[in-house]
Structure 1
Amino acid sequence: MSQKAIKLIECPRDAMQGIHDFIPTDLKAAYINLLLQVGFDTIDFGSFVSPKAIPQLTDTKEVLAQLDLSNTSSKLLAIVANLRGAENAMLFPEIDYVGFPFSISETFQQRNTNSTIQESLVTVEKMLELCDKNQKTAVVYLSMGFGNPYGDAYNTAIVEQWASELVKRGTKILSLSDTTGVSTPEKIKELMQLLLRSFPETEIGLHLHSTPETRKEKIEAAYHIGCRRFDSALKGFGGCPMAADDLTGNLATEELITYLQQQGETLKLNLDKWQEAMLLSSKVFQGM
């Protein structure tokens, strides 16, 4: 069992964002309200991005208005892709965390946020200032953190270089992201060890995408090297619609919970509410 408490970040936003048929706002809110009662550290619930880019999440404000935060310890996280999105997120005191996907692949940064890496660095600086002024915390995702399919330069030193640039600017939480599911247990150990050692004052998390067969070995590698912040989604739904592969979804939360319990971790989760969320998910993710 670890000394540091585990932080579980449940990601219904990531699970829903690539689904073609629009999920009714009431159903999204009902599902997230159940997740809020489970006891996760954070719920990654929505995003303030262009409706053209992610039409599924155009109702983030409306979903937020229906969330019951009176009886939950979970915090809310919303994703943004530019400064305008960050400014919108600041308008809602209920939101604790604002996330930004900072890709270390130039091609993917353009595809995902319509900006260069250097322009995105400026966006992060401004977002950090906004978060400070509005009592929020930024979560910066090192997107394409395990490589990219575009032939852009990639190696461990590049990951460390950009992590260093982000930490220097005041990033408190970095989440190493495997956007296309190419990570291996060896690479997870190597990169997590490097980041945990190089940036001891920074909270380092993992946002892994994976095929079902490789989920457990990735969870195991991350846990044993010292990762204590995990992003996942119920049943492994989701993935990145900007880097599509139908088989590559999120880590499945139920597998993560089972694994961590086997390691003797006390997760303090309401498993009855979790089961209710599992049942409702078949309505939310029909046809998946």
Structure 2
Amino acid sequence: MQMLQKPIKLVECPRDAMQGIHDFIDTDLKVAYINLLLKVGFDTIDFGSFVSPKAIPQLRDTADVLSKLDLSNTNSKLLAIVANLRGVQEACTHEQISYVGFPFSISETFQQRNTNSSISQSVDTVKQLLALCDKHNKTAVIYISMGFGNPYGDPWNVEIVEKWADELAGHGAKILALSDTTGVSSPEKIKEIVPLLIKKFETADTLEQSALPKVEIGLHLHSTPYTRLEKIQAAYESGCRRFDSALKGFGGCPMATDDLTGNMATEDLINYLNIKGEILNLNMEKWQEALNLSAKIFN
């Protein structure tokens, strides 16, 4: 099948891993860690965010970190997260950044909580984000946050997910990452939603019959340690080939509630994909160095 021929894209997320840590991590330590990750061979490094330092104080030094990164010997691209138009504008001033990510929640409660704006206001932000990215030669990554349900009682079903994916694609989004902010996804939900969107937005036969453009579908899953592997398997078997993860599963969303719900662990993902025979072309020596250094960051 065509979906099985897509290359694997691994997005390592030190930004997501660090953002909820209370004690400030020294800028030079962040730089040393991210520089190691840049040498591993990931497709993308989600390295920082241009958001209010009041909201995420840990990442107030993102511009300083960026200025010290060594991009001379890496094929990895940089991604920065934004939460409003001001952040978009700031991210677009940095040539080193390839991707600008925006969390678009389909839960009204969480969108207010995460970006201090409504869903309708966020649609306007996405439109302006896409226009600015085109102008500055960057690619937007729109995260469909709460894509597998939410704990806030807001309406959720597969049709709502599909509706917003259609609308975001219609506005020109080229990458949509289904996001499970609070870990409510299950293998059953993943196998229901992911193939639906991949068939709709990535499969040539479907695209020929559709007015919608081709869109890359990725996954940004959060999980407890006990459910990581079953979610990775479900995602892979559903045709997903773009995965967000973080070393040792550190991090998670500080705007959410469950301390046990962290990121997907990159080492679990790597092990699974190796078993499946995927060629990842990773420098495992540099990966081990990053693992060792992580002890100083995530103590």
With the length of structure 1 as denominator, give the TM-score of the two structures: 0.98
For 1:279, the equivalent position in structure 2 comes to 292
> Deviation digits for residues 1-27 of structure 1, max 9, x if unmatched?
941100000000000000000000000
Between the aligned residues of both structures, percent identity stands at 73
- In 1: Cα distance, 2:178 partner to 2:129 partner: 19
Gaps of 5+ in 2: 203-213
- 1:179-194 superposed matches below 5 A: 179-194=181-196
- In 1: Cα distance, 2:65 partner to 2:242 partner: 25
Matched, 1:123 2:125: yes
- 1:237-248 superposed matches below 5 A: 237-248=250-261
- SS of residue paired to 1:206: strand
Moved over 3 A (4+): none
**Number of aligned pairs?**
286
For 1:12, the equivalent position in structure 2 comes to 14
- SS of residue paired to 2:260: coil
Choose from 2, 27, 32 the match for 2:29. Answer: 27
Gaps of 5+ in 1: none
Give the letter for the 1:198 counterpart.
Answer: K
Choose from 131, 134, 152 the match for 1:132. Answer: 134
Choose from 234, 240, 245 the match for 1:227. Answer: 240
Give the letter for the 1:206 counterpart.
Answer: L
Choose from 188, 197, 200 the match for 2:199. Answer: 197
Matched, 1:150 2:172: no
- After TM superposition, give the deviation of residue 244 of structure 1 in Å: 2.3
Give the letter for the 2:33 counterpart.
Answer: Y
Choose from 95, 98, 101 the match for 1:96. Answer: 98
Give the letter for the 2:244 counterpart.
Answer: D
- SS of residue paired to 2:184: coil
- SS of residue paired to 2:159: helix
- In 1: Cα distance, 2:238 partner to 2:298 partner: 33
- SS of residue paired to 2:255: helix
For 1:164, the equivalent position in structure 2 comes to 166
Matched, 1:37 2:39: yes
> Deviation digits for residues 108-136 of structure 1, max 9, x if unmatched?
00000010001000000000000000000
For 1:211, the equivalent position in structure 2 comes to 224
Report which stretch shifted further, 145-154 or 33-42. Answer: 145-154
Give the letter for the 1:222 counterpart.
Answer: A
- In 2: Cα distance, 1:145 partner to 1:115 partner: 18
- In 2: Cα distance, 1:89 partner to 1:4 partner: 29
- After TM superposition, give the deviation of residue 40 of structure 1 in Å: 0.0
> Deviation digits for residues 37-62 of structure 1, max 9, x if unmatched?
00000000000000010000000000
- SS of residue paired to 1:44: strand
For 1:78, the equivalent position in structure 2 comes to 80
Choose from 101, 105, 108 the match for 2:107. Answer: 105
- After TM superposition, give the deviation of residue 198 of structure 1 in Å: 1.9
With the length of structure 2 as denominator, give the TM-score of the two structures: 0.95
Give the letter for the 2:159 counterpart.
Answer: A
Q: Contact conserved, 1:103 with 1:117, CA < 8 A, in 2?
A: yes
Give the letter for the 2:296 counterpart.
Answer: K
> Deviation digits for residues 225-272 of structure 1, max 9, x if unmatched?
100000000000000000021110000000000000000000000000
Give the letter for the 2:154 counterpart.
Answer: D
Q: Contact conserved, 1:233 with 1:251, CA < 8 A, in 2?
A: yes
- In 1: Cα distance, 2:240 partner to 2:70 partner: 30
